[in-house]
Amino acid sequence: MALIEAASPHTMNTYGRVPIALSHGQGVYVWDVNGKRYLDALAGIAVNTLGHAHPKLVPALQDQIAKLIHTSNYYHIPLQEQLAAALVELSGLTNAFFCSTGLEANEAALKLARKYGHDKGIERPEIVVYEKAFHGRSIATLSATGNTKVQAGFGPLVEGFVRVPLNDIAALKKATEGNPNVVAVFFETIQGEGGVNPMRAEYLRDVRALCDQKDWLLMIDEVQCGMGRTGKWFAHQWAGIQPDVMPLAKGLGSGVPIGAVVAGPKAAHIFQPGNHGTTFGGNPLSMRAGVETIRIMKEEGLLENAARVGAHLKASLEKALAGVKGFKEIRGQGLMLGIELDRPCGALVGRGAEAGLLFSVTADTVVRLVPALILTQAEADEIVALLVPLIKAFLAE
Ligand SMILES: *Cc1c(COP(=O)(O)O)cnc(C)c1O
């Protein structure tokens, strides 16, 4: 191991860290400070879309840093307009707001929904959220999150949420029946932190129809599953629907902090000057990272790659783990996969690092793989070769 456990005496004790320290990367590989190489199947938690040190991204960011990093939203920022136009084209929506993180994008979505209600004369708007959801760790977004561990110790929670189970349209109708205060339905197309739990396409279409019928906003958190990860630009596009509000972050800047809320006609004009803003949001460096990420993804066919290599990875893992006692199932799509075991398996993360493979375990029992979208089939095979023996040995204990 590269570092001893107590190697961070001056940072707050907020993370259970794997005892390694990384020094540099290339493609899907990273090296620690002792020169040991790892295949990075976590990609900064679905952030490093283009892998590390991408030869087209690096010079573009260097060029931008030398021109302008930050100016403030006191002024027009042409790169904001450029990235907004790209996101509008990819999503079919109409306008974007920029911020710096996922929770900030979700916070903006929640404010949009509340103001949508107030503008309609609803004084105490309520938003439908889901069991096992994860939307961030600010007070409002942890209140929307469906995980008592994330909420513990931070009450009182923000009110105005109605919680429902996944993929159950009858439960959604029942939970909102006769409630005139509902203004929006808010979920991840594929829950990430909650254990890689997909919403079914039919359910997505049913919720879209219900939102149209009731005049609610459909708000889809694509912070983790968006930006090409599943093989479409946004995961809800597999169901052929469009949301009214779509928060993005993680993969949008390939590692440069960035968040966005993209909205359609029902929600795009709710905010007026003075309603919302953030100092770092939309700065030229993060906007350039977003513009270049999309350009490079298109040039290199990374949607198609994520779909093809992801399907290969899923099939290979399913084949290798079939019949293994303690293996339950593999969920997810493209390069967002969760391997569910029948027991808590956090211990696998450290063993993976020892074996030269980086990944995470989420929801206690789910091995999560969210590698860079540049992953090749040979690299996917390497993941399988490293991971399967670890899981088999763990389950045999
Ligand atoms: C990571 C994540 C967030 C929070 O993003 P931060 O940048 O950590 O604030 C919100 N929603 C989803 C679906 C996420 O995966």
pLDDT for 9 equals 85
Average pLDDT for residues 6-25, to the nearest whole number?
A: 89
Tell whether 166 and 142 lie within a shared domain.
Answer: yes
Q: What is the pLDDT of residues 226-261, one digit of tens each?
A: 999 999 999 999 999 999 999 999 999 999 999 999
Q: What is the pLDDT of residues 124-183, one digit of tens each?
A: 999 999 999 999 999 999 999 999 999 999 999 999 999 999 999 999 999 999 999 999
CA distance 192 to 332: 9
Q: What is the pLDDT of residues 278-334, one digit of tens each?
A: 999 999 999 999 999 999 999 999 999 999 999 999 999 999 999 999 999 999 999
pLDDT for 178 equals 97
What is the CA(260)–ligand 1 centre distance, in A? 12
Query: Where does residue 153 rank: exposed (0-12), middle (13-18), buried (19+ CB within 10 A)?
Result: exposed
pLDDT band at 6 (very low <50, low <70, confident <90, very high): low
Beta bridge partners of 22: 32
Tell whether 280 and 369 lie within a shared domain.
Answer: no
Q: What is the pLDDT of residues 59-99, one digit of tens each?
A: 999 999 999 999 999 999 999 999 999 999 999 999 999 99
Which residues approach ligand 1 with their CB closer than 6 A? 101-103, 106, 134-136, 188, 192-193, 221, 223-224, 249-250
**From its phi and psi, is residue 268 left (phi > 0), alpha (psi between -120 and 50) or beta?**
alpha
- Nearest CA, atom 5, ligand 1: 102
Choice between 114 and 2, residue whose per-residue pLDDT is larger: 114
Q: What is the pLDDT of residues 182-225, one digit of tens each?
A: 999 999 999 999 999 999 999 999 999 999 999 999 999 999 99
Which of these three, 299, 328, 355, is where a domain ends?
Answer: 299
- Nearest CA, atom 6, ligand 1: 102
Residues 6+ apart with CB under 8 A from 256: 61, 285, 286, 289
Query: Would you give the DSSP letter of residue 246?
Result: E
Which of these three, 248, 269, 299, is where a domain ends?
Answer: 299
Residue 319's domain comprises: 34-52+301-395
Tell whether 164 and 242 lie within a shared domain.
Answer: yes
Are 260 and 232 in contact by the 8 Å Cβ rule? The answer is: no
In a domain, 3, yes or no: no
- Taking the C-alpha atoms of 281, 57, 308 and 320 in order, what is their torsion angle to the nearest 10 degrees? -90
Tell whether 321 and 195 lie within a shared domain.
Answer: no
State which amino acid sits at residue 50.
L
State the distance between the two ends of the chain, measured CA to CA, in whole angstroms.
23
CATH number at residue 114: 3.40.640.10
In a domain, 90, yes or no: yes
| Res 47 pLDDT > 70 | yes
CATH number at residue 305: 3.90.1150.10
Tell whether 61 and 196 lie within a shared domain.
Answer: yes
pLDDT for 276 equals 97
Query: Which ligand 1 atom minimizes the distance to the CA of 137?
Result: 9
What is the CA(134)–ligand 1 centre distance, in A? 7
